[in-house]
Chains A and B, each alone.
Chain A
Amino acid sequence: MRKREITSSLFWLLIGLILTIWSATYPIGNLAQPGTGFLPLGLGILMIIFSATLLIRAFKSTSAEKGTALTFPKRWLSLSVTVLILLAAVFLFENVGYMIIFFVLALVLPVLAGDITWRRSLIFAIFSTAGVYIIFVWLLKQPLPTGFLGW
């Protein structure tokens, strides 16, 4: 609990500092005529104040205080691979095309979610990719990138 509060408040403190310093590079103006950087600067300062308060509170509190402790996800591997696959899909989407990307996503993601065979996942991938084509491309005429294969 305590460690979680310290980590998160340090993160926000850093964000607050970056925001304040960055905002100061824009015209600030004054109260009668606020400039572009006026509001972000104020927000940066508020972020520093709030996160510092949270940090002080976290240091003052004892670890036995109520609240659930931050647990490392048991299925961290599935979780990280899911995020990585999603990022890869984003970067490859326009070059590879929607058909292959959606097929791969629909094939791999159920397996990552757990408790399913590759065979069942393959059937799901075929049907869901066909569904995307029928609903979005054929019926709704959404222009989706076809990639180097032209699909």
Chain B
Amino acid sequence: MDFFSNLALGFGIALTIKNLSFCFLGVLIGTLIGVLPGLGPVATISLLLPTTFGMEPVTSIILLCGVYYGAMYGGSTTSILVNIPGEAASVVTCLDGYQMARKGRPGPALGISAFGSFIGGTLSIIGLMLLSPLLARMALKFGPPEFFGLMLLGLAMVTYLCRGPVMKGLIMAVAGLAVSCVGQDQISGSTRFTLNSITLMDGMGIVPVAMGMFGISEVLTNLEQILKQDVLAAKVTGIFPTLKDWADAKWPIIRGSLIGFFVSILPGAGTVIPTFMAYTVEKRLSKHPEKFGTGTIEGVAAPETANNAAAGGSMVTLLSLGLPSSVGMAILLGAFIIHGVQPGPLLISKHPGLFWGTIASMYIGNVMLLVLNLPLIGLWIKILKIPYNLLFPLIILFCFLGAYSLNNNIYDVLVMVIFGVFGYLVRKYEYEGAPFLLALVLGPMLENAFRQSLIYGDPFIFFNRPISAVLICVSFFLLISPLFKTFSQKRKTIEKALDEGD
């Protein structure tokens, strides 16, 4: 009964004219930036954050969440029609989506991705609604060692899931933690690494750093090459999938929803990994795996459902534990804090209106997205034709404005440009930005939890408490597991060489 009254409270808040308008604006902007390559949800949420300062917290969060899950919808349009992912979670959709479009079936590809996204998104909100209060109640029993273990696991997961050697991911995570140490030490109050600068005393702002590493660096990387805009000239017709399409896509949609939701709850998984997993699972289970990559509807339905389900799933840890599981969630955490709300176990009891209002707005937003996406496909195609040489300067202008408007401080813009160049260079050297940014966000919380745990006077406290011990052991296992792979590969090479010698 309590559950339904809470949900009614949420709908009461989300259905006000103001919140409905901002929900619509959020999903519209989200879809737009999802469609446009080069500007992802992270940079956009960072950009919009200063404009929400005057709003009520719930309205602001409804808007920003709308941008986040709206981008998952929009990304598929670019993947299917241009073969360039609109945002990272739509990379896999390019494989079969573009092939379907080339075969003259862009309509059903766009249609199934919209319906799949709607189903995945809605199921994940139900999951979020049921799981978050349970997890929050459990987390009330957590102390600093358990939170330290959870954050360590999040960082280890992001590092483990990085492309390339784990060592590079670890270096980026350590660098992010080191940058988070700049400024005032929260426990002793003394300053560190500030070079006597008053601006640096507040620490390195997460938003300018994120805008630099995910907005400016993206533009700089794309400036290197001239992207071709081969938007499919064929008219998009028949966006409603046929009965056969539905029959082929129904299980991928169900499995995609489950994979997307549950995988994204894991700290660090984000929205990208579940899409790859959903695609791989479908390919393995398929009776005709050889057809994957040639334009199968299952190859579009599974990842597109998974990325929307993941958008809801990754909010579980943020809302119930206060821990961001991805870079997008880290920026959203920043938004909560700026509005004076601390996500975590007490969020639901202290701010029920905010929690249930956001949940209800996500249901409404999903319906809006379905209505927006299908009839407006023609408009998105027109937007896709904006030349990149005009799009990139616009992104830079928006980032400039966004970073400045945060505190009306030009140093924030300088930080953004510096981290833009840094982000570009680390990409060139094949390091990933995600562990850096997540470490920057988690850094102060991690240090606090670490030092508060040690106040008990026992350095082994992390291993004396079962939950933190398990979390820390899993983290270490994740980080050292690539070593086993290297050893076994080396052993095989040696054995092979010995066999050949015989």
Contact = CB atoms under 8 A, between A and B. Distances in A.
Interface of A: 4, 7-8, 12, 15, 19, 22, 26-27, 31-40, 43-44, 46-47, 50-51, 53-54, 57, 67, 70, 73-75, 78-79, 82-83, 86-87, 89-90, 93-94, 102, 105-106, 109-110, 112-116, 124, 128, 132, 136, 140, 142-144
Q: Chain B: interface secondary structure?
A: helix
Nearest to A19: B178
Nearest to A36: B185
Interface of B: 50-51, 165, 167-168, 170-171, 174-175, 177-178, 181, 185, 188, 190, 192-193, 216, 220, 223-226, 387-390, 392-394, 396-397, 400-401, 404-405, 408, 410, 413-414, 417, 420-421, 428-431, 447, 450-451, 454-455, 457-459
A34 B178 contact: no
A83 B219 CA distance: 11
Given A109-B396, A113-B392, A124-B390, A74 B224 contact: yes
B197 to A, nearest CB: 15
Contacts of B397: 102, 105-106, 128, 132
16 contacts: A7-B429, A8-B429, A33-B454, A33-B455, A36-B190, A40-B192, A47-B174, A47-B175, A50-B167, A74-B225, A79-B220, A79-B224, A83-B420, A113-B389, A132-B397, A132-B401
B460 to A, nearest CB: 10
A114 B397 CA distance: 17
B181 A90 contact: no
Nearest to B399: A86
Q: Is the interface of A mostly helix, strand, loop or mixed?
A: helix
B413 A54 contact: no
Given A35-B188, A87-B414, A102-B397, 5 more contacts: A32-B454, A33-B454, A43-B181, A53-B167, A142-B51
Given A40-B192, A43-B174, A110-B390, A93 B410 contact: yes
B416 to A, nearest CB: 9
A138 B306 CA distance: 41
B447 A39 contact: yes
Given A4-B430, A36-B185, A93-B410, A47 B171 contact: yes
A140 B224 contact: no
Contacts of A36: 185, 188, 190, 192
B81 to A, nearest CB: 21
